[in-house]
Amino acid sequence: MQKHHRFSLWYVLIAIWGVLLLNNFIVTTYGPKNLPYSEFLQKLQAGDINEVSITGDVISGTMKDQENGEAKTVDFTTRRVDQNLSTELSKYNVHFRAQPESTFLRDILSWVIPILLFFGIWYVLMQRLNPGSGVMAFGKNKARVYAEKDLPTRFTDVAGCDEAKAELVEIIDYLKTPERFQRLGGQMPKGVLLIGPPGTGKTLLARAVAGEAQVPFFSISGSEFVEMFVGVGAARVRELFVQAKEKAPCIIFIDELDAIGKSRAGAIVGGHDEREQTLNQLLVEMDGFDPRVGVIIMAATNRPETLDPALLRAGRFDRQVLVDKPDVAGRDAILRVHAAKIVLGNDVDLSVIARKTPGFSGADLANVINEAALLAARKDKDAVGMPDLEEAVDRLMGGLEKKNKVINPKEKKVVAYHEAGHALVATFTAGADAVHKISIVPRGIGALGWTQQLPTEDRYLMTHLELLGKIDVLLGGRGAERLVFGDVSTGAHNDLQRATDIARAMVAEYGMGQTLGPATYPRQNRPVFLGADQGGLAGREYSEATAAKLDTEIKEILVASQERVAELLGSHREELERVAGTLLEKESLDEAEFKALLGQAGATA
């Protein structure tokens, strides 16, 4: 793809400097000789001045000069100091004349050039404020247009979303051979909405569709429609559709559609919100163009619950394609796509990394490969090995390892027993995920230790027993502290918060409690794909009496879990001491080392 260099004001300054240097060289080499006034008087008294022309205080003329022993006539210029020069010129019989002083050039330099310079700088600044547009052309859309040859992305570059690709194959067939569908009177959907969590490859999938179909691709973000001036967004929508019809068949891709497509419910009646006007214009344009033209509108969002219903009705974005986080097979395929760009060692098994990364999106997996490559390069390795990939996974899941952080021996001992408690409860609790790694090396923000559990397979449902097991594992660290030291620390703050969230969800959302029975009161306006703490309104739809009962039942669940954990750790006190002691020595244990420490008890768990 041809590179476009951005204009810089430095280019103008360098050009002016070059012109000044060139002008100085020409004047010095080929211009009249600049003569001091004292030397001019000496030449005058010696009779070497032929004639002069006086313009104001500037004296120019010709004189006799010696160069290489030969007499020659040269031009000169000097500036007059006294006012009695005419007497001296007449005295030595020099022909002289007076020229009226011209102010034209001075006027140009003092007025015209500053005005031109001002307009030039203003033009450059306007271009920089609105790149790709003319001066004050705020209504022009900012869509980036990619020609067919500029779209190398294909379906082979997209992995982990086979169902989504299968849905979009029909779009490609229509763009390539529209007559195949039109001969029966069928029409393709006007709009395709890609929905899914962040980082799952929605934008990449849209580019792959355009690349496979070999059609122009208009890419623009939803936020680029809206500006500070009212009506700009609507004007950009109109121009975008005009340009797309001229280049049909083509694809218009609007990323982050929720930036302009949020629901108008609750808006002030009679308001003139710029975002609402932009949305209205988009709805009109989607209704107004002929589907036989061959313009397919694709959009992506991770907040479909906030979109206006008018966008999702039939005839607009009437086909919705879910691009979800990949399963273990999808993660394996994504890792192989990104690993093809780096040098891998013979010990690398990407299927193991795929099993270790449940819940990772495509962007997360790409980051794992990149982090592993950086770690290997930092160690001057010739290839990326399995330890580098595992360290990259740990870094993304737990944060940066801070080996230089100084922790006093007492706190380090508390952390060791805390993490050993998590690991033992996870091992001896039915339905809990297996322990993969234990570490008391600080990571991330405030994490003094880490117990990593890995599920044996991808899970989409959890039973009541398994949720109780998760609460037990979370309270295992605090239980170990109480058992060994007779006291608890603040290190269990995050564990308590997560355990309370699970217990509350069991009672209020999953219908697993006794207070509400089969009824459920989930949190209002909960995001579909974003975390619960990233949006939504807090609130409840039940009485204070019911809230008190819920609080009581949540407390009972946590207290019962605490008692089970205390009993379990008490019966495995010997294993707890062994694991914690080894952690204090080695600072980290992998799965094999941990099982070896448990011995026969771990084998029967």
Q: Which residues form the catalytic set? A: 419
- Residue 586 annotated in ligand binding: no
Copy the structure tokens of residue 342. Answer: 């780096």
- What share of residues in the chain are helix, strand, coil (percent, to 5)? 50, 15, 35
Q: H-helix or E-strand containing 50?
A: strand 49-55
User: Which helix (H) or strand (E) element contains residue 29?
Assistant: helix 9-30
* Residues forming a β-bridge with 152: none
- Is 178 labeled as ligand-binding? no
Task: Tell me the sheet residues that pair with 220.
Answer: 254
Q: Tell whether 555 is in a known binding site.
A: no
Does the annotation flag 422 for ligand binding?
yes
Q: Is 479 annotated as a binding residue?
A: no
527 is in an annotated binding site: no
Neighbours of 313 (CB within 10 A): 11
Question: Two tokens at 178?
Answer: 């529209």
- Enumerate the H helices of 224-361 as residue ranges: 232-246, 274-288, 309-312, 328-339, 350-356
Q: Any binding-site annotation on 95? A: no
- Alpha-carbon distance of 369 to 341, in angstroms, equals 9
Q: Do 571 and 563 form a contact (C-beta atoms < 8 A)? A: no
Is residue 112 exposed (0-12), middle (13-18) or buried (19+ Cβ within 10 Å)? exposed
- How many Å from the N-terminal Cα to the C-terminal Cα in the chain? 60
DSSP string covering 309-347: HHHHSTTSS-EEEE-PPP-HHHHHHHHHHHHTTSPBPTT
- Show the tokens assigned to 600: 């026969």
Is 201 annotated in some ligand binding site?
Answer: yes
Does the annotation place 495 within a ligand binding site?
yes
Sheet strands (E) in 129-196? 144-146, 191-195
Joined together, the tokens standing for residue 393 give 């996974």
Rounded to the nearest 5 degrees, what angle is found at the Cα of 599, between the Cα atoms of 593 and 602? Answer: 90
Alpha-carbon separation of residue 440 from 261, 267, 454, 517, 582 (angstroms):
47, 52, 18, 42, 11
Length reported for the chain: 605
The angle at the Cα of 165, spanning 161 to 167, to the nearest 5 degrees, equals: 120
Residue written as token pair 């029967």: 604
Half-sphere CA count of 273, side-chain side, radius 13 A: 15
Q: By three-state DSSP, how is residue 478 classified? A: helix
Q: Are 197 and 361 in contact (CB under 8 A)?
A: yes
Pairing state of beta strands 250-255 and 319-322? unpaired
Query: Is 561 within 8 Å of 499 (Cβ atoms)?
Result: yes
Write out the binding residues: 196-203, 418, 422, 495
* Residue set of the binding site for ATP: 196-203
Binding residue positions for Zn(2+): 418, 422, 495
